[in-house]
Structure 1
Amino acid sequence: MKIMYMNRRHGVVKLQVENLDDLWYLSGVINKGDLVRTKTERRIKAREDMARSKKGERRVFTLTVRVEKADFNPDSETYRISGIVEQGPEDLISMGSHHTFNVEKGTTLKIIKERWSSTDLDRLREAEKAARRPKILIVVVDEGEATFGLIRESKIEYHELSRSIGGKYDIRGRRERKMEFYGETAKFLSEMLSRENISAIIIAGAGFEKENFRRFLSEKYPELAERAVVENISSHGRNGVSEVMKRSKIKKIIEEITSARDVRLVHELLTEIGKGSGLGIYGLKDIETAAGLGAIKKLLVCDNFFLKNRKRLEDLMYMVKSARGEVHLINHRGEAGRQLNSLGGVAALLRYPGHQYGNK
């Protein structure tokens, strides 16, 4: 994300969306009642077009809407905003009418709020920093199958490639098809590297295929092989990607990436709850009590729970930060978010055991 202009006194921020992760960050910033100004398009029909059932002409113009609803869909890579038109060319659109537009990569927009909270501003700054952080690509390789896991800020993006390489008795044909499969896998890696800021490729697998594929890269795609490290695992497919992420030496590489950090934090929380140590608690009332005592080391909040309880949680976050605790918004669409939502959407890791207010 690129923040182009900020004026807190007038409640205005102008920014440009640079990638998919920015949309996730924005989904926690833009709220009902905010004003959003951007370029959009609408099909405009002249009277003669209406009489002849023509579709009309698409016109691009700038307008401002007061947000009524916003929805982020990571699968279609769009953030859809609907609202009431407050400003715009009156010859093209009626004031007070409804309008919906998509925010996507490359969109520039101006957000106007009555008050920008510290939580909102922190989220924008985090988006700026995240754009500079390199991503990690994990490739789990098996015979004729490759699972790609791109570790984004907002999620783990999976891609699968599967090809039939033939039976073990067709040695010559099997080798040819295996080389073709390696070539397709390498081509996909090259395409991902051309459009993403990827610092390292981790090639993993349970058998010998990972070493075979690494040798293929060294011979045919040395520029890819230079970035690749090999990791032995016992799982296949997406489970293999998860196994790689939990390895201690790999965790050090990816721990700053938000989606990987989410997994690590929720795993730490569930471990403390499972041990009954009193260092992991959940439930908003107990957590507010702990925050009042300055006992919270790390506060974990699901982003969808935050949007539903914004005012109460902003007060809680302020208390935690004032006591030098950490606040982490967890993406509810990932596995870590689903686990946190099953605990009510908010939990905390404590500085010292809190059996007196924790979950018994």
Structure 2
Amino acid sequence: MKILGKKLKYNTVTVRIENLDDLWYLNGIIKPDDLVKSKTERRIKTKDDMQRDKSTRKTITLTIRTGKTEFNPESGTLRILGGIEEGPEDIISIGSHHTFNLRQGDKLRITKERWSPLDLDQLRDAEKASLRPKILVTVLDEGDAVFGLVRESGINYFEHSKNIGGKQYKTGRYEKKKQFYGEIESFISNLVEKENISSIILAGTGFEKNNFHHFLQEKTPELAKFTYVENTGSHGRSGINEVIKKPVMEKINKDINAAKDIWLVDLLLKEIGRDSNLAVYGTGDVEQAINSGAVKMLVVNDDLFQKERWRIEKMLKNVKSMKGTTHIVNHLNEAGKQLSSLGGVGAVLRYQIKT
């Protein structure tokens, strides 16, 4: 995210959206009643249009008062729904409903009644995140490859398969496998060109990861230089999540949000599984633990944060004031779904308390 202007005296910030992750950050920053100004397309009926019973799509600048926001990673859009506060009154009605469909490259101005410290933290985090490199995890099996692009807002999955024949069919199998490796190498090279990827991790249960690594060293040594090889006990997406929990991920880049989602929720689940009484979940029990000063690490889903913003913001602020760790989890990711089953919020404690 590029911050184009910040006038906190007037409670306004202007930004440009640079990637998909920025939309996820903005979904957490923009809240109900915030004013958002941006260019948009709207169907307008002129006098001539009314006579012909049609409308014309025009690009105009509007300010809307936010009712709600909807982040859709699949379509790469952030929808901001609300009522029009400002705009060309000769062609629009003040108070009528409008939806911004924000995408990469769009500019917007956000005006709040007050920018809280948490809002400003998220804004700074979004700006830093745009400079953070991504990691590509590739889990390989015989004729199958599953890719996980680990970014701030989540993990983008891609799959590629090729029928290379069973081991009993030696005729042509070697050539088919070379073609398969070439297709994987081409996909990875194209993705590295498009995305800011700093490291590639090749993983899997068998020897395919090693075989492909040797292929890379010979054909594309510049890619092989920043490639790691890891063993896993599972295939596909499960294998990708397994890799993210390994020390190699923290060694490469410990700051990517989607990886933090998995690490921290996994830490919470492990404490719950140990029955150590050093983990609590659910809003009431977590609040009680925070009030006792016992929380070492707090995780909360972004959808719960939006629904109960005032309450959750207070919890986050209190944990930070006691030198605890806080993290907002994307509820659409696997870790977020696990946290949702616990009420959307959980905490690891410094010491046991009565709940």
Same fold (TM over 0.5): yes
Match of 2:337 in 1: 338
How far the C-alpha of 1:59 sits from its partner, in A, is 2.2
**What is the total number of aligned residue pairs between the two structures?**
355
Match of 2:254 in 1: 255
Is 1:32 the counterpart of 2:29? The answer is no
How far the C-alpha of 1:252 sits from its partner, in A, is 2.8
**CA distance in structure 2 between the aligned counterparts of 1:104 and 1:254, rounded to whole angstroms:** 27
Match of 1:19 in 2: 19
Question: Match of 2:92, SS?
Answer: coil
Q: TM-score, normalised by structure 2?
A: 0.94
Deviations 1:227-252 (CA, angstroms, capped at 9, x unpaired): 21222223211111122122223333
**Amino acid corresponding to residue 337 of structure 1 in structure 2:** G
**Amino acid corresponding to residue 127 of structure 2 in structure 1:** E
**Amino acid corresponding to residue 67 of structure 2 in structure 1:** E
Given that 2:296 and 2:350 are in contact with CA atoms closer than 8 Å, whether structure 1 keeps it comes out as yes
Match of 1:329 in 2: 328
Q: TM-score, normalised by structure 1?
A: 0.93
Is 1:203 the counterpart of 2:198? The answer is no
Given that 2:241 and 2:262 are in contact with CA atoms closer than 8 Å, whether structure 1 keeps it comes out as no
How far the C-alpha of 1:159 sits from its partner, in A, is 0.4
Given that 2:283 and 2:345 are in contact with CA atoms closer than 8 Å, whether structure 1 keeps it comes out as yes
How far the C-alpha of 1:84 sits from its partner, in A, is 1.1
CA gap of 1:170–1:291, structure 2 versus 1, over 3 A, is closer
How far the C-alpha of 1:64 sits from its partner, in A, is 0.6
* Worse-superposed segment, 313-322 or 197-206: 313-322
Match of 1:111 in 2: 110
**CA distance in structure 2 between the aligned counterparts of 1:303 and 1:202, rounded to whole angstroms:** 28
**Amino acid corresponding to residue 193 of structure 2 in structure 1:** S
* Worse-superposed segment, 274-283 or 329-338: 274-283
Is 1:140 the counterpart of 2:139? The answer is yes
**CA distance in structure 2 between the aligned counterparts of 1:239 and 1:288, rounded to whole angstroms:** 33
**CA distance in structure 1 between the aligned counterparts of 2:339 and 2:190, rounded to whole angstroms:** 34
Given that 2:202 and 2:209 are in contact with CA atoms closer than 8 Å, whether structure 1 keeps it comes out as yes
Q: CA RMSD in A?
A: 1.8
**CA distance in structure 2 between the aligned counterparts of 1:50 and 1:178, rounded to whole angstroms:** 63
Match of 1:193 in 2: 192
Match of 1:65 in 2: 64
**Amino acid corresponding to residue 120 of structure 2 in structure 1:** L
**CA distance in structure 2 between the aligned counterparts of 1:69 and 1:212, rounded to whole angstroms:** 50
The runs of 4+ residues in structure 1 deviating greater than 6 Å are none
Question: Match of 1:189, SS?
Answer: helix
How far the C-alpha of 1:126 sits from its partner, in A, is 1.2
**Amino acid corresponding to residue 171 of structure 1 in structure 2:** K
Deviations 1:196-242 (CA, angstroms, capped at 9, x unpaired): 11111011122222122122222222222222122222321111112
Match of 2:8 in 1: 8
Listed as ranges, the gaps of 5+ residues in structure 1 are none
Listed as ranges, the gaps of 5+ residues in structure 2 are none
Q: Give the 5 Å matches for 1:90-169.
A: 90-169=89-168
* Worse-superposed segment, 211-220 or 132-141: 211-220
Given that 2:295 and 2:349 are in contact with CA atoms closer than 8 Å, whether structure 1 keeps it comes out as yes
**CA distance in structure 2 between the aligned counterparts of 1:212 and 1:283, rounded to whole angstroms:** 46
